[in-house]
């Protein structure tokens, strides 16, 4: 059964130096509050996995949490570069960052293989492109029935998976609706998990019998952090703060302005700082 | 409303016209997204637009800043998980067309969005491939929208992120890829289509006001022109009005 913890205790218990950590949320439901807590607790040498690293890993990498990034698209969506990730790759600041680069299709398949307890994922992909030349993890298998060659990548089996969901009930069952990305797969593929939620309620109130629900016994820790996905969003609660993503370009461009922003908005703050973004549950 | 239009508006309008009412289109973010929604709001009201965040048959009222804005899910027929999107819908062969942009392109419409310089010691680290490597081979055909310039239209790509017709134009067939690859490249000056024999992207239509000299000047290789080069039809009043309206709504919504 899931344990109900506060965010600091959940990170302390679940996330250790050197861990392989996946924090997912495909534009929607990105666990920013959890990322900030990991930064505050100064975790080091993490291998970070995420399809779209975007601002959350820009912040964690800029603050020195990571030694390696496994990803498939690393930018500020619709805005431009993730400057802190670029600074790490191009100038080794604040630390060198090893890259393991995939395509979206390969990573989505690799998470699914992890959830399915398979050693690798297989796809009709990476055809005629250069990534396999620089990523030795991309290999091939021959179909035993047709002889077709297909690409393979290792299954993703993180030490820790972290997601943000809409809500949990009092037993710790967790609900996701809207764009659900690969969060279900990440939770089922990970050894330990933290799920932050907008609220904890008596009745999950799923809008469909096919909504994504993770049973309590598949989840490690459940933490209520209202607004915890900001500047990403939570379906039915608050919308994506696109102006924040645009403003981040300037904040993150220089090391000094980045460090000042992190000091003011992360190091000196706690999860309560996200409450202002929660906005109350919208009628949806 | 002014009927004077910018090269960028011409590009978006020409790109939108390439889409058909019965297309099922995998939409890249940015310029492709503007063109695809312009098509939906003008001549192709029943087009199915699909974004890699899992949103199927989405009808956004404002253009999304990201590939997974809530607007896409709120206005979609249905939303599936990301693994399902890539496995069943893209790899499953359901897309008639994939609409891509890129940072760099070569004469065979191979695209680079990964790196400039050496991969391990990059001069410029770009975002990477995202969905593009598999979009490029799993959709029935590919349209590309990119503004011309010598830094973007290069003689040799430092990195192939997604395959067009391959480094020599013959690789798709050699690798057993059955889909057509890039059949149209829409720029701010002209439209390219692959030569039926060599697959080299060839200028087939020049936008009003643009010249051959301008196209040559803004291309990193010596571009070929078709025997019979057309003049692109200028944007009409409705195309411009719908495009400007959605861009204005988008700007107001994103507060950028």
| pLDDT reading at A25 higher than 80 | yes
Dihedral angle, C-alpha B216, B217, B219, B221, nearest 10 °: 70
Give the mean model confidence (pLDDT) for residues A127-148: 98
Contact A108 B79 (CB under 8 A): no
**Has residue A35 been placed in a domain?**
yes
pLDDT exceeds 50 at position A282: no
Nearest CA in chain B to A105: B86
User: What is the chain A residue with the closest CA to B119?
Assistant: A134
**Could you identify the residue written with the tokens 């090269």?**
B7
* Domains defined along chain B, listed by start: 7-251 (3.40.1080.10)
> How high does pLDDT run on average in chain B?
96
Confidence at A283, pLDDT banded by 50, 70, 90: very low
Share of chain A above pLDDT 90, in %: 96
Between CA B159 and CA B86 the distance in angstroms is 23
How remote is the C-alpha of B218 from its chain's centroid? 18
Which ipTM did the prediction report?
A: 0.96
Exposed / middle / buried, residue B121 (Cβ in 10 Å: 0-12, 13-18, 19+): exposed
Task: Compute the half-sphere exposure of residue A168: CA atoms within 13 Å on the CB side of its CA.
Answer: 31
Residue positions counted in chain B = 256
Residue of B nearest to A247 (CA): B256
Look at residue B254 in the predicted model and tell me its pLDDT: 83
Q: Do B175 and A128 touch (CB under 8 A)?
A: yes
pLDDT band at B28 (very low <50, low <70, confident <90, very high): confident
Range 253-282 of A in CB contact (< 8 A) with B: none
Interface contact A77-B65, CB threshold 8 A: yes
Residues from chain B contacting residue A239 (CB–CB below 8 Å): 70
pLDDT for A129 equals 98
Domain-located, residue A284: no
| Any domain includes A142 | no
Whether B214 sits among the annotated catalytic residues: the reply is no
At A280 the pLDDT is: 60
For residue A109, being part of any structural domain is answered with no
Question: Mutating which of B127, B142, B162, B166 best tests the A interface, going by the most A Cβ atoms within 10 A?
Answer: B127
User: Which positions in chain A touch B166 (Cβ < 8 Å)?
Assistant: 128
CATH code (residue A61): 3.40.1080.10
**Using 50, 70 and 90 to split pLDDT, how confident is the model at B73?**
very high
The predicted pLDDT at position B256 comes to 52
Residue B65 has pLDDT above 90, yes or no: no
Region B162-175: mean pLDDT is 97
Q: Which of A27, A128, A185 sits opposite B166 (nearest CB)?
A: A128
Q: B233: pLDDT confidence band, cut at 50, 70 and 90?
A: very high
Of B67 and A142, the structure prediction assigns the larger pLDDT to A142
In a domain, A146, yes or no: no
Which H/E stretch holds residue B196? Answer: none
Torsion region of B247: left, alpha or beta (phi above 0 gives left; psi -120 to 50 gives alpha):
alpha
Active-site hit among B52, B171, B200, B239? B52
As for how many domains chain A has, the answer is 1
Tell whether A224 is covered by a domain. yes
| DSSP string for A87-123 | HHHHH--SS--EEEE--HHHHHHHHHHHHTT-SEEEE
- pLDDT of A272 strictly over 70: yes
pLDDT tens-digit series, residues B174-203: 999 999 999 999 999 999 999 999 999 999
Burial per residue of A3-33, b for 16 or more beta-carbon CB atoms within 10 angstroms, e otherwise:
ebbebeebbeebbbeebbbbbbbbbbbbbbb
Instruction: Pick the more confident residue, B55 or B66.
Output: B55
Residue pLDDT, tens place only, B75-117:
999 999 999 999 999 999 999 999 999 999 999 999 999 999 9
| Residue A284: predicted pLDDT | 37
- The domain of A239 spans 3-102+157-273
Query: A113 in contact with B at a CB cutoff of 8 Å?
Result: no
What DSSP line would sit under A140-181, residue for residue? Answer: EEE-TTT--EEEEEEPP--SEEEEEEEEEETT--EEE-S--T
Average pLDDT, chain A: 96
Tell whether the model's pLDDT for residue B2 goes beyond 90. no
pLDDT(A74) > 50: yes
Chain B: nearest CA to A100, how far in angstroms? 11
Give the neighbor-by-neighbor strand order of the sheet with A139-142.
A120-123, A149-154, A139-142
Closest to A178 (Cβ–Cβ): which among B79, B125, B256? B79
Global pTM? 0.96
User: Quick check: B255 pLDDT over 80?
Assistant: no
Which position has the token pair 């670029």?
A86
Q: In this model, does residue A177 exceed pLDDT 80?
A: yes
3-state secondary structure of B247: helix
Residue B63 CA, chain-centre distance (Å), reads 15
């Amino acid at each position: 059964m899931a344990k109900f913890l506060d965010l600091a205790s959940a990170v302390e218990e679940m996330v250790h130096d050197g861990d392989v950590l996946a924090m997912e949320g495909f534009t929607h439901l990105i666990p920013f509050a959890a990322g900030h807590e990991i930064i505050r607790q100064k975790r080091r040498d993490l291998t970070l996995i995420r399809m779209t690293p975007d601002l959350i890993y820009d912040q964690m990498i800029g603050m020195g949490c990571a030694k390696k990034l496994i990803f498939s698209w690393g930018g500020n969506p619709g805005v431009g570069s993730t400057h802190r990730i670029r600074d790490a790759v191009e100038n080794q600041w604040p630390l060198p960052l090893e890259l393991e680069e995939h395509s979206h299709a390969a990573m989505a398949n690799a998470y699914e293989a992890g959830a399915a307890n398979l050693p690798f994922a297989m796809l009709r992909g990476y055809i005629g492109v250069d990534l396999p030349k620089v990523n030795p993890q991309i290999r091939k298998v021959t179909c035993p029935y047709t002889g077709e060659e297909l690409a393979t990548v290792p299954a993703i089996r993180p030490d820790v998976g972290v997601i943000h969901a809409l809500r949990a009930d009092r037993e710790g069952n967790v609900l996701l609706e809207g764009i659900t990305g690969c969060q279900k797969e990440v939770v089922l593929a990970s050894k330990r998990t933290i799920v932050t939620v907008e609220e904890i309620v008596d009745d999950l109130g799923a809008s469909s019998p096919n909504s994504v629900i993770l049973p309590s016994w598949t989840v490690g820790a459940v933490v209520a952090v209202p607004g915890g996905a900001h500047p990403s969003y939570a379906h039915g609660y608050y919308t994506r703060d696109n102006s924040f993503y645009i403003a981040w370009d300037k904040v993150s461009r220089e090391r000094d302005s980045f460090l000042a922003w992190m000091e003011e908005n992360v190091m000196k703050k706690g999860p309560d700082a996200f409450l202002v973004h929660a906005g109350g549950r919208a009628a949806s | 409303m002014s009927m004077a239009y910018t090269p960028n508006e011409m590009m978006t309008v020409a790109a939108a016209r390439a889409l058909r009412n019965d297309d099922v289109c995998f939409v890249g973010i940015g310029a492709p997204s503007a063109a695809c929604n312009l098509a939906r709001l003008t001549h192709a009201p029943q087009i199915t637009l699909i974004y890699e965040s899992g949103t199927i048959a989405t009808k956004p009222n404002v253009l999304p800043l990201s590939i997974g804005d809530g607007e896409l899910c709120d206005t979609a027929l249905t939303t599936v998980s990301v693994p399902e999107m890539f496995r069943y819908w893209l790899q499953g062969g359901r897309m008639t067309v994939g609409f891509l942009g890129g940072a760099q392109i070569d004469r065979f419409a191979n695209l680079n969005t990964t790196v400039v310089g050496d991969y391990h010691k990059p001069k410029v680290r770009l975002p990477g491939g995202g969905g593009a490597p598999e979009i490029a081979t799993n959709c029935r055909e590919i349209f590309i929208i990119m503004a011309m310039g010598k830094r973007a239209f290069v003689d040799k790509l430092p990195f192939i992120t997604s395959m067009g017709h391959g480094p020599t134009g013959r690789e798709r067939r050699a690798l057993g890829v059955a889909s057509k690859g890039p059949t149209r490249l829409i720029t701010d000056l002209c439209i390219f289509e692959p030569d039926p024999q060599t697959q080299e992207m060839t200028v087939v239509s020049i936008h009003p006001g643009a010249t051959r000299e301008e196209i040559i000047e803004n291309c990193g290789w010596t571009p070929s022109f078709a025997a019979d080069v057309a003049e692109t039809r200028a944007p009409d009043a409705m195309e411009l009005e719908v495009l400007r309206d959605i861009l204005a709504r988008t700007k107001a919504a994103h507060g950028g």
